[in-house]
Chain A
Amino acid sequence: MPGKNILEMRGITIQFPGVKALDGVDFTLREGEIHSLLGENGAGKSTLIKCITGVNKKDSGTILLDGHEINPSGPNEAMSLGISTVFQEVNLCPNLSVAENIFVGRQPMKHGGIDWNEINKRAEELMNRFHLDIDVTRPLSYYSTAIQQMTSIARAVDVQAKVLILDEPTSSLDENEVQLLFSVMRELKASGMGIIFITHFLDQIYAVSDRMTILRNGHLIGTYNIDELGKVELVTKMVGKDMDVIFSLKRAEVSPDAPVMLKAEHIGDGSKIDDISLTVKRGELVGFAGLLGSGRTETAEMLFGAVKTVKGDIYLDGEKIEIKQPFDAIKSQLAFCPEDRKRDGIIGDLSIRENIMLAVQSRKGFMKPMTRQEQTELADKYIALLGIATPDCEKKAGELSGGNQQKVILARWIAASPKVLILDEPTRGIDIGAKAEIQRLMLEMCRDGVSVIFISSELDEIIRCSNRVIIMRDREKVAEVDGASCTQQDILRIIAEGAA
């Protein structure tokens, strides 16, 4: 019999400048329930969690905890109300002991001083409850990520939490550690605690959850019992489809005997990616499909040297190349537009001209500086070519819209005449017109002989543009399908169920 509702959110709406992050979302968590909160990047999961914990203020709607309306002003107040959060990244102090971390901010005192005996004893009891026999007086940094994650949970549990939010707690755990976490979650559930579980690993959702709620683009798609929805339907609901937008774009033709431009053999970074091999022909567009966390971005970062490759070989145009850092990749005429354009791509305080000339200057070498006139001519050429909406090339890049910022990053790399262009989510968060424009540019570059790796969460654009599609799942390449003949259903099935 289902437990009573412990947390109810009704009609939650949160508006950020220019975007509605949550639009009238309802969510309920029952006592003694593990409830998965699902959705792709930008779906609104984090915003909903931040709303529960008081980090983001809601514009409308109500939050009820045990039937009483609450409006926490921040994580501390939420915690005092009985809502604890454990984040993906361990949010503790590595230089403090395990016991200190559990009790910091609320240490038991005795005779005016900290009662270390009590702290250490209670910390030991808590960790034993999680089947961990460890020395709680050692610094947290001494222990594995799994134990650090358990320490976070121990801290969260010890404050008499009614609601425990676990935000991607398994992303850095191995299989045994995940199983240990699941057994702890089941114990907490049995004790009546309501747990909100966020993960991108489909198998884990089905292994431990009772119900799931799916969000997409800030809207509630639905709440389902775990046996009510299969994996394929789940992925379909998460990813969604936009049938109204039909592009007239045609993928570039690649001759069967076109030479291989980029070849990676058994590359791995020693942590997230173990063994990936791939080839991209001259003028070919290879799409990378998979859910967030499936290893798409990590693979791209390895190819560009943003993440160090510790095994395997990379060949460009038939020659083996050493890529230890992005500079080596740029020298070899590889280009990379990162997933987070604001953090890793655009330099907001520099002008459009300066942003565009960065890669060109890097390739030329700083002993051959471009004159101001050359820079301006180059920037003006690409502003016109890519249709960047700006009065002139001296406007700060940070003041442009998302789509135009993306075009500036593209211009930077196109101007550097790359042989291989890697684009990680280049169309995320931009309007449909800009999306079409960027896809057109990618395809034109392919026709000019540039090889393109295109990572996107939107399957329709992957299929529309790609000659081949590499499908990633749980940080492994599970399949490679022909872009012309595959369907979204084929890809969704492989993402959900594994190799074809």
Chain B
Amino acid sequence: MGKSFRNSKFFGFMILAVMVLFFYAVFKFLSPSNFGSPANLFSYFQSSIIYSVGGCGLYFIVVMGLFDFAVGANIVLSSIVGVILSEKFGYAGFIVGCLGCGTLIGIIIGMLYNRLNVPSMIVTVGIMLILESVAVFAAGGVKQTLAPELRFFSGAPGNIILAFLAFALMWFILNYTRIGTYCNAIGSNEFTAKNMGIDVKKYKLIGFALLHFFVGIMAILTVSYGTTMTALTGMSTMSRNFQPLMGTFFGVAFRKYGNPISAIVIGEFIIAIIFNGFVALGAPTTIQNVVTGAALLAIVTLTARGGRGSVIK
């Protein structure tokens, strides 16, 4: 097999397809009646594309070597803001509320990160705690429910249309704007990127803003899918960060094949198959956390492992 084939988009896609088939076959074999019907698979796919949208957003900052733990908190806050505005302005309030709140939070995080000059993890953990409290205040301690007449995005085709619009936007940004190239350059070597004329701070800010714009889309899909959103405190939103992040890691791992978006989408689908496979087997729900943790470690090990002799901190 030639080196060029092993680096082709087709080869990368083939690896992902084989992974899908492998996990599908394993769980279908173990639980033939409860797992893997076409209807089940479509359901897994619909839930996975919500995380894929967040995964696409996270890709912009993860390729720059940054992290964001405020994603979950922003999903909750943006959903609540969107639902509150939808009560007065209908779909316009719902969409603008989610996207506007999400993006605004992203800009604030980016500005704080640039201004405070501390690691992104610390900034976003601090922001997460603040956003959780703001969400409780905004919701007034009450569960927010999306009106039944505003649930176009709760299922097919609305959720799929919106998600694919987000993927198309991501594809355009990565391939036809400077942002994609610059994010990759900054992730490769920030100092070099600066010397090549890239305004590193500006593009980090853009990265955070774009991430949280996608988080706004994810908020629309999340609250539409679940129909309600409850504000939580005590870092409870942290668990919402990891599933989109796993998709991002798939994207980072497969970007060398030139198709990070399909890797994010298929990667999230693989994770959904694993989750639902365990559920079909009757495994306790706590096993999901084990799967999340194990999958996170496995993906990070494969994608972010340092070279021989490198110092890992």
Contacts and interface: CB of A to CB of B under 8 A. Distances in A.
A91 B197 contact: no
Main secondary structure of the interface of B (DSSP, over half): helix
Nearest to A155: B196
Nearest to A76: B197
B177 A106 contact: no
B236 interface: no
Contacts of A104: 181-182, 185, 193, 196-198
A105 B196 contact: yes
Interface string B190-222: 001101111000000000000000000000000
B143 interface: no
B187 interface: yes
B43 interface: no
Contact of A96 (B175, B185, B195): B185
Nearest to B172: A113
Given A95-B256, A100-B185, 12 more contacts: A75-B195, A76-B195, A76-B197, A79-B197, A91-B192, A92-B192, A104-B198, A105-B197, A107-B178, A114-B178, A114-B181, A142-B7
Given A93-B188, A95-B187, A113-B176, A107 B195 contact: no
A139 interface: yes
B303 interface: no
Given A76-B195, A105-B196, A105-B198, A94 B177 contact: no
Interface string A127-163: 0000000000001001000000000000000000000
A76 B182 CA distance: 16
Contacts of A91: 189, 192, 195
B133 interface: no
Contacts of A75: 195
Contacts of B256: 95, 139
Contact of A94 (B172, B188, B198): B188
B177 A114 contact: yes
Interface in A87-117: 91-96, 100, 104-107, 113-114
A95 B195 contact: no
Contacts of B181: 96, 100, 104, 107, 114
12 contacts: A76-B197, A93-B189, A93-B196, A95-B184, A95-B255, A96-B185, A100-B185, A104-B182, A104-B193, A107-B178, A114-B181, A142-B7
Contacts of A114: 175-178, 181
Given A76-B197, A105-B198, A93 B184 contact: yes
Contacts of A76: 195, 197
A435 B188 CA distance: 42
Nearest to B189: A93
A95 B181 CA distance: 10
Interface of A: 75-76, 79, 91-96, 100, 104-107, 113-114, 139, 142
A105 B186 CA distance: 11
A229 B126 CA distance: 65
B197 A106 contact: yes
Nearest to A307: B309
Contacts of A100: 181, 185
A138 to B, nearest CB: 8
A96 B197 contact: no
B188 A96 contact: yes
**Max chain B C-beta neighbours (<10 A), residue from A92, A94, A107:** A92
A116 B133 CA distance: 46
**Max chain A C-beta neighbours (<10 A), residue from B197, B198, B255:** B197
Nearest to B255: A95
Interface residues of B, number: 21
Contact of A93 (B7, B172, B176, B193): B193
A334 B197 CA distance: 47
**Max chain A C-beta neighbours (<10 A), residue from B178, B181, B184, B189:** B181
A336 B176 CA distance: 52
A106 to B, nearest CB: 7
B177 A113 contact: yes
Contacts of A106: 197
Nearest to B63: A95
B29 to A, nearest CB: 39
A322 B104 CA distance: 59
Contacts of A105: 196-198
Nearest to A85: B195
Interface in B85-99: none
A93 B196 CA distance: 10
A139 B177 CA distance: 18
A105 B177 CA distance: 12
A95 B184 CA distance: 7
A373 B192 CA distance: 48
**Max chain A C-beta neighbours (<10 A), residue from B177, B185, B187, B256:** B185
Contacts of B255: 95
Nearest to A115: B176
**Max chain B C-beta neighbours (<10 A), residue from A92, A93, A114:** A93
A95 B189 CA distance: 10
A432 to B, nearest CB: 36
Contacts of B185: 93, 96, 100, 104
Nearest to A94: B188
Contacts of A139: 256
A79 B192 CA distance: 14
A96 B184 contact: yes
A145 to B, nearest CB: 16
B195 to A, nearest CB: 5
A139 B192 CA distance: 16
A224 B54 CA distance: 63
Nearest to A95: B188
Contact of B192 (A93, A107, A113, A142): A93
B65 to A, nearest CB: 12
Contacts of B175: 114
Contacts of A79: 197
Contacts of A113: 172, 176-177
A485 B192 CA distance: 50
Interface in B63-117: none
A361 B255 CA distance: 46
Contacts of B195: 75-76, 91
Contacts of B188: 93-96
8 closest residue pairs by CB, A with B? A105-B197, A113-B176, A93-B188, A93-B185, A105-B196, A95-B188, A75-B195, A91-B192
B300 to A, nearest CB: 18
A98 to B, nearest CB: 13
A75 B197 CA distance: 9
A142 to B, nearest CB: 8
Nearest to B180: A114
A95 B197 CA distance: 17
A77 to B, nearest CB: 10
Contacts of B172: 113
B171 to A, nearest CB: 12
Interface string B5-23: 0010000000000000000
Contacts of A94: 188
Contacts of B184: 93, 95-96
A104 B199 CA distance: 12
A441 B192 CA distance: 43
Contacts of A92: 192, 196
A106 B181 CA distance: 11
A113 B193 CA distance: 20
